[in-house]
Amino acid sequence: MAHRVSDTRLGVKTRVFHLGDYRRATVGPGQDVPDDYFFVNGEDISVLADCDALNKGFGCASSVLLRQKILRKCREDIYRFFDKEKGQIAIYDAVNPLAAGRRVLAKEFAKHDVQTLFIESACDDVRIIEENVRSVKISSPDYVGWTSNEAVQHYLARITAKIPHFETMNEPELNYIKMINAGERLSVNNCSFGYLSHRIVFYLLNLHIKSRHTYFARAGNPSKGDSYKLDASLAEQGIDYARKMGDTLIKHREEERQALIDRGGADTPLKSLTIWTSPRRRTVETAHYLQEKGYRVRQRSQMSQLNPGVCEKMSERRIRLEYPDEVQKHEADPYHHRYPRAESYHDLAVRLEPIILELEREQNDLLIIAHESVLRVLYGYLMACNATDIPTLSFPRNEIIEIIPASYNNQAKRIQIPDLPDEIIPASPEDIRIPVAPSGVVSPMNGLGSPMSGAQSPMEGNRSPDKGYMTPKEHGSGTHLLVERALRGV
């Protein structure tokens, strides 16, 4: 959830500070922490301010010192992000189970002119808890090399150890959002909400945790050449591509289902598949083959491709000659810059906000057939990409990209579409070619959004835009927003 809240579509400079990453970076790969490390306030940042008072009786001295060291490093990085990097939202992703600790934390950050918003996810539905742990939590780096059952039992034991001591959020003086049973109900305590806080509430209203897969596929090639202005039908090669893409996806989903059964999973029918396209002919016609097989297709007007403006069909040499100043601006910030009468990728992301919210609400498996520029933004959202990397992501036509929910970051899988002619595979030629590298047959970048292995500080990584346009500031004394997470049940 933390990475979803930190998405880049509002142009707000955001970073996730996951305490588990700091623990793994401090302890070292494959190393265990003391058994009492996960006692009730083992991940409570308030120990930084009042360790003796809040940790009395919660673990041995070595565990307390280890937690202090990890928490201190996390807090230093948060302050550096706000003060040195001009960050706007820091998401502190950890368990904060005690009311006293949350109050201390809010006061500590208020001294640095940072507002605090707590998000509590409470769940008493055993089915939801076990399903969430089995499908998401056990993919955590903590459980590499564990069997599924061992990982599930260990994580449930972590939860059980905290439940007797957990104090649900009822502090009237604090800003908080309480989610019950994965969005079944939402409770809000609004002391000093501003623009960004209200946007977060609106976003959380659209979330669910039911597992589903999202697939990305390019539209087939048109009959009259790729062009933003023309709305051409598919060429014969495009129709052939649509058929092969559809058959490949159907076969892959059935193979995945059978593999799950072979691993001991339930023999249940495949989840329904919904297809979204833009209104442009080539995307609609690419979905016809699957529509004829009974799959539901919806046209979404917001999913039209990025408008290249005056640079459409211009060569790189001509653009550099006619718009040297624009080229310089674009090279400095390819995500936010727009050429004359064009859209930037940030403009496109804002246009796609209703699609992103509906994507979160969607409970069926989802196939999105769209232009490469649209796929870049949606992939960047789901995979927590750095905004500056989004313009360089590539989606060749001989691959379907499958996004699979996982803890910390989703996982991406490439599904090869066989027997396609080489000339239709490369990326869209109408994209502005400078300084964005040609896509060729390269797939979306590996590892975007994942913590860097071996890094001294987990804060380093491709998680949020390096440069964010300013949005309306939070009302009140704080100029930054810290989003905290308190966890109960899941």
Catalytic residues, which ones? 93
Nearest residue to 334 (alpha-carbon basis) of 460, 426, 433: 433
**Which amino acid is located at 65 in the chain?**
L
Nearest residue to 361 (alpha-carbon basis) of 290, 277, 274: 274
Which residues lie below 8 Å from residue 282, measured CB to CB, with a gap of 6+?
Answer: 219, 220, 221, 222, 232, 233, 234, 238
How many CB atoms are closer than 10 A to CB 398? 23
Burial class (CB in 10 A: 0-12, 13-18, 19+), 262: exposed
Residue 408 CA to residue 17 CA, distance in Å, equals 11
Using the CB atoms, write b or e for 368-385: b if 16+ within 10 Å.
bbbbbbbbbbbbbbbbbb
User: Nearest-5° angle of CA 37, CA 43, CA 44?
Assistant: 130
Lay out the sheet containing 480-488: strands in order across.
14-18, 89-93, 480-488, 114-122, 175-180, 185-189
Query: E strand or H helix at 370, and its extent?
Result: strand 365-370
Is the bond leading into 334 cis (omega within 30 degrees of zero)?
A: no
Lay out the sheet containing 399-404: strands in order across.
296-299, 273-277, 365-370, 214-218, 399-404, 411-416
Could you list the beta-strand ranges (E) of 123-272.
175-180, 185-189, 214-218
Q: Residues 140, 153: contact at Cβ < 8 Å?
A: no
DSSP 408-468: SS-EEEEEE--S--GGGSSPPTTS--SSSPP-TTPPSPTTTTSBPTT-SSTT-BS-S-SS-
Parallel, antiparallel or unpaired: strands 175-180 and 399-404: unpaired
